[in-house]
Structure 1
Amino acid sequence: MENVINEIQELNSTISKHLKYWYGKGPQTCYSSLHENKLIIHINKFMTPSEKALLENNKEPLAYSFRTSVMDRICKDLQAEIHRALGISFNHYASDWDFVTDTGIILFQNEQANWKCENIDQQTKHHIENKVMKVSANVHKVPTHLEMVMFNKRMFAVKCHEVMLQVEKILYKKGHTDILQERAKEIKKSYQESLGEVMGKEVKGVYMIWDYQYDQSYFFFYLR
Structure 2
Amino acid sequence: MNMNENYFQNEIASHLGKMLRDAFGKGPQSIYVSVERPVIVVYLRNFLTPTEKILLNQGQTRTIEQTRDMVMSSLIPEIKAYLHPLTGMNDLEFYYDWELHNHSGILVGRQLEESAALEQWQDRFEGKEGLEREILRMSQRIQKKPEHIYSRIINKRTLVVVRSGGMIDLSKELIRLGDEDQLRQAVNHLEKMHLRDNRAIEQALDTKIMDVFVDWNMERDKSVIVFILNPK
TM-score relative to the length of structure 2: 0.87
Aligned to 2:21: 20
Q: Distance in 2 between matches of 1:4 and 1:193?
A: 32
Distance apart, 1:177 and its partner CA: 2.3
- The answer as to whether partners of 1:139 and 1:190 remain within 8 angstroms in 2 is no
Match 1:187 to one of 188, 191, 209: 191
Where does residue 165 of structure 2 map in the other structure? 162
Partner of 2:144: 141
Q: 1:166-201 CA distances to partner (integer Å, 9 max, x unpaired)? A: 211111111112321123212211111423345321
Structure 1's unaligned 5+ residue stretches are none
User: Which residue among 203, 206, 211 is the counterpart of 1:200?
Assistant: 206
* SS of the residue 2:127 aligns to: helix
CA contact 2:118–2:150 (8 Å) conserved in 1: yes
User: In structure 2, the residue corresponding to 1:209 is in which secondary structure?
Assistant: strand
SS in structure 2 opposite 1:157?
strand
Residues 37-88 of structure 1 show CA distances to partners (whole Å, capped at 9, x for unaligned) of 2211011111112222222333222210111221222222222222343333
User: Equivalent residue of 1:149, what SS?
Assistant: strand
Partners of 1:193 and 1:153 in 2: CA distance: 18
Judge which range, 106-115 or 70-79, deviates more.
Answer: 106-115
Question: How many residues align structurally?
Answer: 223
1:49 match: 50
In the alignment, which residue of structure 2 is the partner of 1:62? 63
- Change in Cα spacing, 1:182 to 1:108, as seen in structure 2 (3 Å) is same
**What is the one-letter code of the residue matched to 2:194?**
S
Of 69-78 and 106-115, deviating more is 106-115
- The amino acid across from 1:103 in the alignment is S
1:5 paired with 2:11, answer: no
Matched, 1:217 2:208: no
CA distance in 2, matches of 1:2, 1:70: 33
Q: Which amino acid aligns with 1:175?
A: G
Tell me: CA distance 1:158–1:140, structure 2 relative to 1, closer, same or farther (3 Å): same
Corresponding letter in the other structure for 1:159: V
Q: Secondary structure at the match of 2:124?
A: coil
Q: Give the AA of the match of 2:215.
A: I
Q: Which amino acid aligns with 1:94?
A: Y
Q: Which runs of 5+ in 2 are unaligned?
A: none
Give the distance between the partners of 1:118 and 1:87, measured in 2 at CA: 20
**Distance in 2 of aligned mates of 1:153 and 1:39:** 15
SS class of match (2:90): coil
Distance 2:143 2:22 in 1: 39
Partner of 2:179: 176
Alpha-carbon distance in 2 for matches of 1:66, 1:51? 10
Q: Hey, what does 1:81 align to over in structure 2?
A: 82
- Which residue does 2:34 correspond to in 1? 33
- Return the match for 2:155 from 144, 147, 152: 152
Equivalent residues of 1:7, 1:86 under 8 A apart: no
Which amino acid in 2 is paired with 1:67? R
Cα 1:190–1:9, aligned 2, differ >3 Å: closer, same or farther?
A: same
Give the conservation status (yes or no) of the 8 Å contact 2:43–2:107: yes
